[in-house]
Amino acid sequence: MKLYQTYLSPFPTRVRVLLYAKNIDVEIIEPEGFHGSQKSKSSYEEVNPIGRIPALVLDDGRVLPESEVICEYLEDAFPEPSLRPTDPWALAQVRLLSRISDFYVVMAMVPLFNESGKRRADWNRERIDAAVVEVFKSLEYLEEYIGEDGYAVGTSLTQADGVLLPILMLASKWAPALFGTDNPFDRLPKLAAYYTAVQLDPIAKRVMDETLEAIGASQGRRK
Ligand SMILES: N[C@@H](CCC(=O)N[C@@H](CS)C(=O)NCC(=O)O)C(=O)O
């Protein structure tokens, strides 16, 4: 199988968490035309007409876009170990955290992603500050529901950790470093504790290191 993705994008991370946990061998391909590159994405659109990463290509050539759909496919096709709790309430918590992240936190961060693609001189400070207020508000929703036993839900790695880790890293490391904004963890103790504790898990640590390296590389490119 092949996974089209980048290490900077938060969406493929949840897929890599499953691939690593299930020890599935895939070829990782970083398509051109993402994250401020001047290159056209058109050749990637032949792979995934939606034009977004990630996309999983099966050995027989069938292509699956959309990170959440890919994760559900991987859980069904490669059931062991499962990162999908069997307890209905725990599974609902995984889905709730994922939904809050995708629908509220990521959406609140979109203006920051947009500003980051511009030259610093062209940044709209009002837009940045307004976005940060919304990001903090949406993170408070996660603060409400985040697990307190070392993982997002329960006592082991689930799909929710793969969703949250890159987003929390972008909110707590990338945005403050780039825009000089406050670290949200200063006022969100449960999320801060989770973020520290989950790094004891080797797969969580691996994807966090990958994301951190990609953030560093993207900031290096800005200089
Ligand atoms: N709902 C999609 C969202 C994927 C997405 O928006 N990926 C971004 C990268 S963070 C992307 O490919 N954007 C298109 C672009 O940058 O041109 C998923 O979960 O896979």
203 and 95 belong to one structural domain: yes
CATH number of the domain within which 108 lies: 1.20.1050.10
Q: What's the CA angle centered on 55, arms 51 and 74, to 5 degrees?
A: 155
Co-location of 184 and 101 in the same domain: yes
Find out whether the beta carbon of 9 lies less than 6 Å from any atom of ligand 1: yes
Count of domains in the chain?
A: 2
User: For residue 219, what pLDDT is reported?
Assistant: 79
% of the chain residues with pLDDT over 70? 99
pTM for this model (two decimals): 0.95
Please report the atom of ligand 1 found closest to the CA of residue 53: 12
In the Cβ-directed half-sphere of 170, how many Cα atoms lie within 13 Å?
26
Atom of ligand 1 nearest to the CA of 70: 20
DSSP 200: G
17 assigned to some structural domain: yes
CB atoms within 10 A of CB 103: 12
Q: How far, in Å, CA of 44 to CA of 47, rounded?
A: 5
As a whole-number percent, the residues of the chain with pLDDT over 90 amount to 90
Q: Within this chain, do residues 218 and 122 fall inside the same structural domain, yes or no?
A: yes
Tell me if 194 is assigned to some domain: yes
**Claim to verify: residue 110 and residue 36 sit in the same structural domain:** no
Is 14 close to ligand 1, i.e. is its CB under 6 Å away? no
Give 202 or 38, the one with higher predicted confidence: 202
Domain housing 52: 2-77
Does residue 107 form part of some domain?
yes
Which atom of ligand 1 is nearest the CA belonging to 12?
Answer: 20
Q: What is the mean pLDDT of residues 122-150?
A: 98
Query: Where a domain ends, among 49, 77, 105?
Result: 77
Whether residues 205 and 146 share a domain: the answer is yes
Residues 73, 134 within the same domain: no
Per-residue pLDDT band at 223 (split at 50, 70, 90): low
CA–centroid distance, 48 to ligand 1, in Å, is 11
Backbone angles phi, psi at 42, to 5 degrees: -60, -35
- Tell me how far the alpha carbon of residue 72 is from its chain's centroid: 16
